[in-house]
């Protein structure tokens, strides 16, 4: 039982060490986070500096002229710089396919899209235009373009027109066109965007991830943040741009945490061991307990002068029925006949006891063999010194 409990404890301790490290490595050193940083982006990135030591940023494609800057600040800046720009796009939407454009827009922004659908022949189906928040909702719409429950705006367009959408939550937004016809269709678009930028004039770190790897060190205690900002580009724009963000873990925090967890588990294991440890010799004063020692605690330490030795006898004036009285006094037994039998051979009566524990569990023949071969009491496993016989007269 003790070995099984120790094995369970070691297994739990190993799991508590391995699981947090595996989760940490999977989160921080797995695939870097890919974020949208298109034209007019002003994106706030916050993380816990207690667990994160640094933030690294590298441009995924793009050109050095995209204007993206990686700012580091000691506190979250105010979202208070208004900006407005327009982008012109001429998109060829393939047959039975879609085209999309991704932007990161802060709350309070407004999108206005002017469109002009051009086709050499009359298309049987109109073009579907949507605005979806987040990549998850956008992917759900691509699986079922006719559904509008995952989009902020779902509109069928023909000819010329304009749609508008107000942004109430800072997030990534996808503007997409779906062509359900069997021929390619050309759509001329103009995006007019009004948004708010973060004020980065108080930044203590600035780097262009388009030119090199940017690394911003976070203090151990503090609320430092990162702002990814790119200025708006007027006119015809290129495709969407993305940035790789990765986080460096603060290893000392995890090592100290794991050490504290190990100490707490050790203390818990000791408490459980004390509470559930077997109690030897706990007879409770009731009759019939086979673990009750024959000798009192005071006489357990006695050796040659122990009570009930082979040179002592219990004098009785009765006949054979007195054997039961001896067994009741020696074995504390008050039950059936089986309680007075030897626990080894289960045939002869118990007529001896062990020193120094005082337990009476076997006949003298079996007790002598146990002392010679095993050397420990069959009840409490205490090392035996002598076997004393109980005589009845």
Q: Which structural domains are found in the chain, ordered by start?
A: 13-34+41-76+207-266 (no CATH), 79-198 (2.60.120.680), 297-392 (3.30.40.10)
pLDDT computed for residue 122 by the predictor: 72
pLDDT computed for residue 306 by the predictor: 41
Strands 313-314, 79-93: pairing kind = unpaired
- 3-state DSSP call for residue 225? strand
What percentage of residues in the chain have a pLDDT greater than 70?
71
Alpha carbons within 13 A on the beta-carbon side of 272: 11
pLDDT computed for residue 336 by the predictor: 55
Query: At which residue do the structure tokens 């109690």 appear?
Result: 279
pLDDT computed for residue 71 by the predictor: 93
Rounded Cα distance between 63 and 68, Å, is 10
pLDDT computed for residue 3 by the predictor: 61
pLDDT computed for residue 325 by the predictor: 40
- Exposed e or buried b per residue across 34-71, where buried means at least 16 C-beta atoms within 10 angstroms of its C-beta: ebbbbbbbbbbbeeebebbbebbbbbeebeeebbbbbb
Nearest to 357 by CA among 391, 388, 325: 388
Torsion of CA 228, 231, 235, 236, to 10 degrees: -20
Q: Quick count: other Cβ atoms within 10 Å of Cβ 202? A: 11
Stretches where the chain sits below pLDDT 50 are 30, 235-236, 280-292, 294, 296-335
Tokens of 126: 């109109």
Provide the whole-model pTM: 0.60
Tokens of 176: 């997409």
Angle between helical axes of 2-28 and 251-276 (0-180°, round to 10): 160
pLDDT computed for residue 154 by the predictor: 93
Alpha helices in the chain (DSSP H): 2-28, 135-143, 251-276, 322-331, 364-373
Rounded Cα distance between 177 and 182, Å, is 15
Cβ atoms of 154 and 130 closer than 8 Å: yes
């Amino acid at each position: 039982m003790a070995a099984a409990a120790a094995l369970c404890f070691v297994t739990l301790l190993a799991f508590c060490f391995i699981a947090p490290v595996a989760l940490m490595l999977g989160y921080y050193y797995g695939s870097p986070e890919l974020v949208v940083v298109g034209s007019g982006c002003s994106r706030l990135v916050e993380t816990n500096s207690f667990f994160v030591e640094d933030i690294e940023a590298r441009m995924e494609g793009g050109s050095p002229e995209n204007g993206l800057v990686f700012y580091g600040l000691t506190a979250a800046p105010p979202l208070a710089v208004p900006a407005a720009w327009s982008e012109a796009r001429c998109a060829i939407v393939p047959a039975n396919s879609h085209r999309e454009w991704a932007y990161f827009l802060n709350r309070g922004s407004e999108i206005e899209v002017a469109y002009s659908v051009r086709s050499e022949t009359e298309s049987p189906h109109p073009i579907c235009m949507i605005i979806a928040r987040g990549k998850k909702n956008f992917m759900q719409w691509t699986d079922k373009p006719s559904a509008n429950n995952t989009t902020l705006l779902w509109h069928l367009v023909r000819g010329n027109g304009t749609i508008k959408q107000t942004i109430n939550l800072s997030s990534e937004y996808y503007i997409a066109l779906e062509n359900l016809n069997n021929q390619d269709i050309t759509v001329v678009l103009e995006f007019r965007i009004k948004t708010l930028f973060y004020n980065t004039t108080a930044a203590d770190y600035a780097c262009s991830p388009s030119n090199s790897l940017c690394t911003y060190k976070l203090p151990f205690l503090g609320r430092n943040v990162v702002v990814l900002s790119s200025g708006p580009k007027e006119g015809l724009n290129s495709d969407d741009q993305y940035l790789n963000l990765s986080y460096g873990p603060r290893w000392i925090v995890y090592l100290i945490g794991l050490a504290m967890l190990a100490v707490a588990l050790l203390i818990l294991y000791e408490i459980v061991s004390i509470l559930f440890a077997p109690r030897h010799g706990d007879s409770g004063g009731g009759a019939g307990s086979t673990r009750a020692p024959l000798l009192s605690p005071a006489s357990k330490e006695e050796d040659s002068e122990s009570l009930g030795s082979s040179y002592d006898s219990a004098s009785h004036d009765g006949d054979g029925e007195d054997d039961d009285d001896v067994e009741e006094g020696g074995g504390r037994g008050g039950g059936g006949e089986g309680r007075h039998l030897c626990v080894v051979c289960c045939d002869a009566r118990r007529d001896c006891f062990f020193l120094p524990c005082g337990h009476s569990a076997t006949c003298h023949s079996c007790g002598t063999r146990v002392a010679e071969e095993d050397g420990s009491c069959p009840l409490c496993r205490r090392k035996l010194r002598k076997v004393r016989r109980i005589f009845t007269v």
